[in-house]
Amino acid sequence: MPTPKNHKPPHKPKLKQIAIYGKGGIGKSTTTSNLSAALADLGYKVMQFGCDPKADSTNTLRDGSYIPTILDLLREKGRVDAHDAIFEGYNGIYCVEAGGPSPGVGCAGRGIITAVQLLKQQNVYEELDLDYVIYDVLGDVVCGGFAVPIREGIARHVFTVSSSDFMAIYAANNLFRGIQKYSNSGGALLGGVIANSVSGGYQKAIIDDFVSQTNTQVLQYVPRSITVTQSELGGKTTIEAAPDSEQAQIYRELAKRVEAHEESVVPKPLDAQELRAWATGWSDQILAVERGDVRSAGAHI
């Protein structure tokens, strides 16, 4: 059974700011939106802040519709009242999109810096009395702009969405490097990995190995599910479209874990050589499994 809507949490916690990173296309916005929806269902006041020039992070919270972005408003008016950039979505979730340039022009990273600062300076989080602000941030940390949510004390906890795909892990490792860099100067720390499209088998083994190598944890395994796809096609989160589904339950569990999560850590990213060696090790192993040479814990596929 889903938690009844608008149930009040026992005591008013401090505003929790979270950043969720991950390689493009990995299911980051899907996970974030479902997390937001589940937290809202738990009775929290949540803002989801999309930091991706595509500006589609919050679509499934608003029946698939796009909202004007902060940077669109800035371009039109020169001055932005934060309230004009905040839109209500599923179960009262405040939806914000940073926005950004068309592909191939301008500087998307600078766009994120501008948008985050604009909202912060207007003290909107306090005014709205938020419990959660969740930044949904594009890709690995490619340049300074994309690191903004994890530094300057903006987000406290970072989660990364990753599959067992090597490129996704590479992105996660890059993010860890960013977090490590900013950790001495009051930046965010790592809460853990949300393992997406990971059902078990060697996929799980790969992720588990990676997190143990890098001093972090898997917060939740989220299997691939047709329910998610169906919900998204209807412009909704799984929590909204299929609240009774098994997948919705998994997102609610994720939300509970995020709710309970207090202590984040400095990760130990692998350096370039280590990462390559690690990846080669795994690909050899998988090849061996497929040839039938080895029977290991991860080989029951």
Partner 1 sequence: MTINLNDITCPTREQRANGINTFNGKASELVELAKKKELKNCERDFQQNSGCLLNFYLTVRVATIRDSVMIVHAPVGCSAPSALYREVFRRLYQGLGLQENFDFHWLTTNIGEKDVIYGAGDKLRFAIREAERRHSPEAIFILTSCASGIIGEDIEGVVSETQGEIGATIVPIHCEGIRSRIIQTGYDAFWHGLLKYLVKPPQKKQKDLINVASMLSYTWQDRQEIIRLLGKMGLRANFIPEFASVQNFREMSEAALTAPVCPTYTDYLSRGLEQEYGIPFFLHPAPVGIANTDEWLRVIGEHTGKQKEAEKLVKEERAYWVPKMEEIRRGFDEVKAQNNGQFHIMGSLGQGRLVTQTPFFHELGVTTPVALCQDFDDLLLEDVELLLKRIGDFDIVVNTFQAAEVAHTARKYDPDMVLSCPFQGSAYKREKGMTRIHALRGDGRKWSAQAGYAGAIACGSFLLQATRNRSFQNVMLAKTEDPYQEWFFQQPDPYYFHRKEA
Partner 2 sequence: MGLTIVTGREGALKAAPASEFPEIAESPRFTCALGGAYGAALATFGAVPILHSGLGCGMANAHGMTYAAGLNSGGTAGTTTTPCSGLIEEHVVFGGEDKLRRLIDSTLKVMKGELFVVISGCVPALIGDDVDSVIAEFKDRAPIVHVKTSGFVGNSLVGYNLYLDAIIDGFLSEKKETAKKLVNIFGIVPNQSPYWKGELREIESLLAKIGVKANAIFANFEPLGAIASVPNAALNLVFHPWAGVAAAQKLEERFGTPFINFEHVPVGPQQSADVLRTVGRKLKIPNAKVEKVIGAEEKNVYRYMEFLAEMFMISMPHAFFGVVGDSAATISYTRFGANELGWNPEISVITDDPPEETHASIVARLTQNIQGAFRPQVFFDYDSYRIRERLNEHTLQVLLASSLEKYVRGRDGEAFHLSVAYPIYDRVIVDRSYAGFRGGVALLEDISHSFAGPL
Residues involved in catalysis: 23, 28, 54, 140
Give least dist CB 221 to partner 1, A: 33
Asked if residue 103 binds partner 2 (CB under 8 A), the reply is no
Instruction: Name the β-bridge partners of 175.
Output: none
The type of residue at 215 is N
Six-digit token string for 208: 């588990």
Six-digit token string for 191: 């809460």
Give least dist CB 35 to partner 2, A: 28
What is the rounded CA–CA span in Å between residue 70 and residue 199? 37
Burial 148-171 (b: 16+ CB within 10 A, else e): bbbbbebbbbbbbbbbbbeebbbb
Six-digit token string for 151: 């530094």
Six-digit token string for 1: 């059974």
The type of residue at 169 is I
When the beta carbons of 102 and 185 are compared against partner 1, the nearer one is 185
Which residue from 22, 27, 100, 191 is in contact with partner 2, where contact means CB under 8 A? 100
Instruction: Name the β-bridge partners of 97.
Output: 50
When the beta carbons of 107 and 287 are compared against partner 2, the nearer one is 107
Stretch that binds partner 1, among 33-41, 64-72, 77-85, 222-230 (CB under 8 A): 77-85
Residue 100, contacted partner among partner 2, partner 1, none, CB below 5-8 A by kind: partner 2
When the beta carbons of 102 and 185 are compared against partner 2, the nearer one is 102
Reduced to 3 states (helix: H, G, I; strand: E, B; else coil), residue 43 is coil
Give least dist CB 57 to partner 1, A: 20
Which residue from 48, 91, 114, 245 is in contact with partner 2, where contact means CB under 8 A? 114
3-state helix, strand, coil in the chain (%, to 5): 45, 15, 40
Asked if residue 144 binds partner 1 (CB under 8 A), the reply is yes
* Binding stretches for partner 1 (CB under 8 A): 75-80, 107, 109-110, 113, 117-118, 120-123, 143-148, 151-152, 182, 184-187
* Binding stretches for partner 2 (CB under 8 A): 71, 74-75, 100-102, 104-108, 110-111, 114
